[in-house]
Amino acid sequence: MTTEAQELKEQALDAHEERHREWVLQARDVAVKVALDFGSVSINDIRPRCPLPEGAHPSLYGAVFRTRVLRPAGYVVAFHRESHGRVVRSYKVTGEQ
């Protein structure tokens, strides 16, 4: 069952992804490569490798992991200063394309 808040989040990510489609596709490629090379990937790996496009909202990073190629694999602590040490998901490659 999807809550209204979850639906609003998905709608926002859809809009971000549509507006910055090329960047999202490139960042997904980076995420998959990192996961293959290191066993998993999180936002900690993507932030330094894929700076946001100018004017993009930071929640755009969430769109990177919305793919069948990556699946949730656990949790890690976020490193960036604004995260205040919150816990974020890590992902592994599923093998699906």
Q: Quick one: average pLDDT of 37-42?
A: 96
Q: What is the mean pLDDT of the chain?
A: 89
Please state the φ and ψ torsions of residue 47, each to the nearest 5 degrees: -50, -50
**Residue 59 confidence (pLDDT):** 84
What global pTM score does this model have?
0.82
Packing angle between helix 4-19 and helix 21-38, nearest 10 degrees?
A: 100
Residue 74's pLDDT band (cuts 50, 70, 90): very high
Instruction: Report pLDDT for 14.
Output: 80
Q: Which stretch of 42-46, 82-86, 88-92 has the lowest confidence by average pLDDT? A: 82-86
